[in-house]
Structure 1
Amino acid sequence: MTIANRVKEKRIELGLTQAQLANLVGISQQSLQKIEDGKTQNPRKIVALSKALECDVEWLESGEYTELKESIPQYKSEKVKPLQANRIQARPVITHGQAANWLTFNVDTEQTKWMYTEYSESDKSFWLKVVGDHMTSPSGLSVPEGYFIFVEPSLTPQNGDLIIAKMLQSNEITFKKFALDADRVYLKPLNPLYHAIEATRDIQVIGVVKEARALFKV
């Protein structure tokens, strides 16, 4: 079943016409018709659409996931503002290659997957899938491979933050803990099997991680 099928199914279940649902969402009937026809597969007003259809956003978008959310700022809680439903935003899920050039990268809104967060503070924030086991810990905070992390580039990292950085020589992206030791900065993995990296001029911090989310297929 596609998003088009789910929208139409829920609309009919609630006894709404296309015109009525479009009015509730704040879009034109033509725009809703394109969603139900499958021509628009990533509607930008999907949060409003889910509210109007009285269903979960993630179910409406994918239909095949339940989610477990973990608020990363448990290690830096003062960075999280109280949750506000009206601040939920759709932010793009990008690749590591796109993250390396994120400030100049242009998102194709129709082809890009979007996920939702209450923690966005700028229009440059994004979601990134964790690759590798560097941040998998046997105890305490752990962000395993396959998790999705929400990155906010507008924040300046503080001691203890989890961050995304770019290795300038290789143009590779790394996910580590930002640690200050005297006058030196280190990027530390949560996995004790790996060593810390001293942050030099060859490393560029891209953003601070504010949330981690695991998606499980049902």
Structure 2
Amino acid sequence: MFLVETNSALVATKMLMTKPVELPPIAKRLKEAREALGLSQPELAERVGMSQQGIGAIEAGRSIRPKKLRELARALGRTEDWLLGEGSDDAAATPAAYPKHEPNAETGGPVRLPRQRIPLYGGAIGGSDGRFVLNGHKLKDVLAPPSLEGVRNAYCVYQYGTSMEPRYFAGEVHFVNPNLPVRRGDFVVAQIMDEEGEPPAAFVKRFISWNSKELILEQYEPRENWTSDEPEAEKYILRFPSERVVSVHVIVQTGRE
């Protein structure tokens, strides 16, 4: 009988020693909320300014009221009371410091490129100061930029020479709207009749003025036929008699083909 009682006491003692330790509510709830958001311990620690060891200590039950309780609650989208086990799941939600946002836009189908094509005009360099031939000879058709979609008689030309650098460089393409009114400071394609009956010449320049007497344009390099006998102010200026001016059209966009 004595032995039986002794054995019973030993068994009871062993059962008491192996009974699992009950974790505090914050340990279980912190881990539950963290895993629900797909966060690792280091990620949560970084968000609230703690160490990973600090998060581990809470989930292991060694820290039951951490100093950064408020930050933890906001990062997890829960209330402080809920984390401490003092609130129900119904009252768990609170505005999170790191909410997951829903998409604010949807992608549609493939992007539709402009279908209108416009002519690219140009010809061999015919002279100084970026002069080129513009006699209606079409080099090819290119896609119109959006700003010229549906614009009547829109066209484009190559940049020749270096007279407009650093604004424009040789080989760039200027897209032109021939229907816009020209204003001072606009960059334009001016078409000028040749004095000797040659095909019209064209120039890409900056528009200054145009009256009954003359068309005045400006470029960025000194005019090639400028001499020191002329005023310094004329160094970058080109003047053409108005009776020789065929057209002056506004450049609306420049780029590569």
Larger Rg: 2
Q: Name the one with the larger strand percent.
A: 1
TM-score range, shorter chain: 0.3 to 0.5
TM-score normalised per structure 1: 0.47
Of structures 1 and 2, the one with the larger relative CO (CA 8 A, separation 6+) is: 1
